[in-house]
């Protein structure tokens, strides 16, 4: 995880804050995709509770992993919460259970993947979601037309993963992460700033009227804040961090402005992380020689 809790005693308070933020994201996702429709009489409580099953399955998966590894059952439960948060609310539960089992099985046998494991799980969701035609919209959004305003999107009333649509809460997460010693806070800033600037220039040249809605794309914000600054899969030098962030943000701006492909941020980041993973040993070896 980007906050890298290496000093457990020192970071005990930070751990509680981190879990509090994840719970806030989950609670908002539950409200946005479930409870709000229960209050409107459009959905029953059992239907509305489906996303909670995602969290429960992934948390239990992490606990079983801890048990098999003979670790404390509560160790790194944030991993299970994150798996649930990045899942589309309409994802088939049976398929989700299979993916969670596969994820922790691969982790148990220590199979090396070339991208951050949470991103790897998201790629599995994207692939199987494409094969089974799983939309990001919840059941009500699929059945009825919707149009969210800029404020709605900023607060989280937008189409996206179960628990990562609130830009406001994602900003709160970044504010917390930026005080953690191992978090590369320059990368999210570089990504989001370059994304906003290039998107603005493209909007001037090729106007669509969707600048602010594209700017507040929760997939981009979640990717930038949670997935891009991972130490092992991102550059080491300051110049490398800035180039990495600016280049990634610029490419994303083109993708979302012209093609509107929802999963662009995850797929492009995966390519970048693979390249960084492969090039990192070369950089370290060269630096050692010099």
**Each residue of 68-121: pLDDT tens digit?**
999 999 999 999 999 999 999 999 999 999 999 999 999 999 988 889 999 999
Contact 99, 125 (CB under 8 A): yes
Residue matched to tokens 């989700």: 96
Measured between alpha carbons, how far is residue 33 from residues 43, 72, 88, 215, 275 in Å?
Answer: 10, 33, 10, 22, 36
Measured between alpha carbons, how far is residue 171 from residues 21, 140, 142, 168, 229 in Å?
Answer: 11, 27, 28, 5, 15
pLDDT of 290 higher than 60: no
Phi, psi dihedrals of residue 144, rounded to the nearest 5°:
-130, 150
Contact 168, 193 (CB under 8 A): no
User: What band does 286 get if pLDDT is binned at 50, 70 and 90?
Assistant: low
* Mean pLDDT value across residues 178-195: 94
Distant-in-sequence, close-in-space partners of 267: CB < 8 Å, separation ≥ 6: 123, 126
pLDDT, position 6? 40
Burial of 117 (0-12, 13-18, 19+ CB in 10 A): middle
* Mean pLDDT value across residues 237-249: 92
Contact 122, 162 (CB under 8 A): no
Helix (H) or strand (E) holding 248: helix 238-258
CA atoms 253, 255, 257, 260: torsion sign: negative
pLDDT, position 284? 58
Contact 192, 205 (CB under 8 A): no
Q: Higher confidence at residue 138 or residue 127?
A: 127
Please list the alpha-helical segments (H only) found in 69-184: 78-85, 93-108, 117-131, 139-143, 150-155, 167-177
pTM of the model: 0.92
pLDDT of 287 higher than 80: no
pLDDT, position 12? 82
Q: Which residue, among 236, 231, 267, has the nearest Cα to 252 in the 3D structure?
A: 267
pLDDT of 227 higher than 80: yes
Burial of 80 (0-12, 13-18, 19+ CB in 10 A): buried
């Amino acid at each position: 995880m980007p906050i890298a809790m290496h000093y457990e005693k020192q970071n005990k308070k930070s751990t509680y804050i981190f879990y509090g933020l994840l719970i806030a994201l989950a609670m908002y996702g539950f409200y946005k995709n479930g409870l709000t429709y229960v209050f409107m009489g459009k959905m029953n409580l059992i239907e509305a509770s489906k996303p909670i099953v995602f969290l429960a399955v992934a948390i239990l998966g992490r606990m079983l992993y801890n048990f098999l590894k003979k670790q404390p059952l509560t160790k790194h439960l944030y991993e299970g919460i994150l798996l649930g948060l990045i899942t589309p609310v309409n994802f088939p539960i049976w398929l989700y259970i299979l993916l969670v089992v596969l994820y922790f099985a691969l982790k148990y046998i220590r199979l090396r993947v070339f991208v951050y494991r949470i991103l790897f799980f998201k790629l599995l969701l994207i692939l199987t979601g494409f094969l089974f035609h799983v939309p990001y919209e919840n059941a009500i959004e699929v059945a009825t037309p919707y149009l969210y305003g800029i404020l709605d999107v900023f607060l989280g009333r937008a189409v996206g993963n179960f628990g990562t649509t609130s830009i406001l809460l994602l900003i709160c997460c970044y504010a917390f992460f930026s005080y953690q010693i191992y978090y590369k806070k320059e990368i999210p800033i570089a990504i989001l700033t370059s994304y906003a600037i290039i998107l603005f220039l493209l909007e001037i040249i090729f106007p669509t009227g969707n600048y602010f809605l594209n700017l507040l794309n929760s997939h981009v914000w979640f990717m930038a804040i949670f997935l891009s600054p991972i130490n092992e899969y991102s550059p080491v030098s300051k110049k490398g961090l800035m180039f990495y962030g600016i280049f990634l943000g610029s490419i994303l701006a083109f993708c979302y402005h012209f093609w509107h492909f929802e999963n662009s941020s995850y797929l492009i980041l995966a390519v970048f992380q693979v390249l960084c993973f492969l090039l990192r040993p070369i950089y370290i070896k060269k630096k050692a020689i010099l």
